[in-house]
Structures are given as structure tokens and as C-alpha cells.
Amino acid sequence: MSFIKRLKNVIEAKANKVLDKHEDPIEMLELSIKKKEELLTNAKKQCANFIATVDSIRDEKKALEEKINKYEEATKAAILKEDTEKAQSFVKQKLDLQEKLNQTNSRIKEQDDKISSIKVKIEELEIEISKMKSKKQELATRLDVAEINNEINETLSGLNDDHGINLDELEKKVSQKENYGKALDELKPKNEDELLDEYIKSSPSVDSKVAEELERIKEQMKK
């Protein structure tokens, strides 16, 4: 594969990714529905034109049938009058008109078949558009719910994000600061009152019974 072709494939792949990312499925469906509705409108216009054409042909058929009936009556009259030449002429005219009537009936049938086909397609298209509109409503609801869920999940996922902060390390640093402060406090010079208080606190406490026994022994030794 040539470099140019590979580069083209890469560019197309990236373009497709960008389009997929920004493509709104609801808008795409709305566009498709709009196109289908345009087709439906054109199909109905076409069907109306065919119907108008067939109505005109039916008028022609009616006129031919009336003429054929007249030539039929004229032929009968000519026979009664024993006017063979006229009878043959009327029959010839009637047969020519009958041929035109047959052709007209064929044209009517052909157009009626087209009209029936168009009507079937119109019905199918109307059903398809109705289904697409229902699907659009369903997808729009699902998309709204999905977007709300995604927003909630994104928010909740941010709760566990400490943004690079290590709480254990912070606690250790605070403890070191506290210990350092205590050490400085112990090393600072003490005034006279503090020294006396410290001496008093460090003196051993003597049990009262022990003190009494000690005094008794001392008095006994003096005797």
C-alpha cells in the first residue's frame, strides 16, 4: 500500500471518529424522517396526477361507448331500411371505435395498476414514517436519561479523585510539625516558677501509713 493511500485512510478514519463524536442520532433521525416525508408528498402528487389522467381517459371511454351505441342503433336502422351500404359503413365505423375503446380500456388498466402500486407504496411509507417518529420519541427519551446518568456518574467519579493529594503523606507532615513544636517547647528556657513546679511534680509521693511507721521507728530509736 502506497504512503499516499495509507495517509488517506488515516485521515478518513480520524474524520469518521470526529463525525461520530459530534453526530446527534436524534438529528440524523429527524433528517431521515424529513426526507421520507418529502418522498411521501411527491408520491401523493404523482398519484393525484395519475388519477386525473385516468379520469380523463374514462371520459374518453364514455364518449366512445356512446358513439358505439349510436352506430349500433344506426346500423339497425339501416338494416330496417334495407340500406346495405349505410349498414356496412356504420358497422365499419363501429368496429373502428370498438378498437379505440379496447385500446382505451388497456390504457385505463395500465394507469389503474400504477395507481394501485403507488397507493401501496404510499401506505408503506406512511407506516414507516410513523414507526420512525415513534422510534425518535423513544430514542430521545433514552438519550436524555443516558445523558443525565452520564452526568451523575461523572460527578460521582470525581468524588474519589483526590487530584494527586496523598492524605497519609499530609498527615505525616502535620505530625512531624507537631512533634517539632513539642521538641522546641521542651528545649526553651524555663523560669523559676516552672522549675519549682517541675521539682514538686518529680518528688516521690509518700504513703501516709509509711510516713507514720517511719516516724514511729525514729521515735523508738531515740529511747
User: What range does the domain containing 118 cover?
Assistant: 3-159
- Of the candidates 124, 159, 194, which is a domain's last residue? 159
> What pLDDT is recorded for position 203?
58
Asked whether residue 131 falls in the same domain as residue 175, the answer is no
Asked whether residue 37 falls in the same domain as residue 116, the answer is yes
> What pLDDT is recorded for position 142?
83
Asked whether residue 142 falls in the same domain as residue 181, the answer is no
The residue whose grid cell reads 414514517 is 129
pLDDT under 70: residue ranges of the chain: 1-23, 157-167, 181, 183-208, 210-211, 223
Is residue 164 in some structural domain?
Answer: no
How many domains, in total, are found in the chain?
2
Asked whether residue 45 falls in the same domain as residue 154, the answer is yes
Question: How many angstroms separate the CA atoms of 170 and 182, rounded?
Answer: 19
Q: Is 86 exposed, middle or buried (CB count within 10 Å of its CB: 0-12, 13-18, 19+)?
A: middle
Asked whether residue 148 falls in the same domain as residue 200, the answer is no
Asked whether residue 145 falls in the same domain as residue 180, the answer is no
Asked whether residue 154 falls in the same domain as residue 174, the answer is no
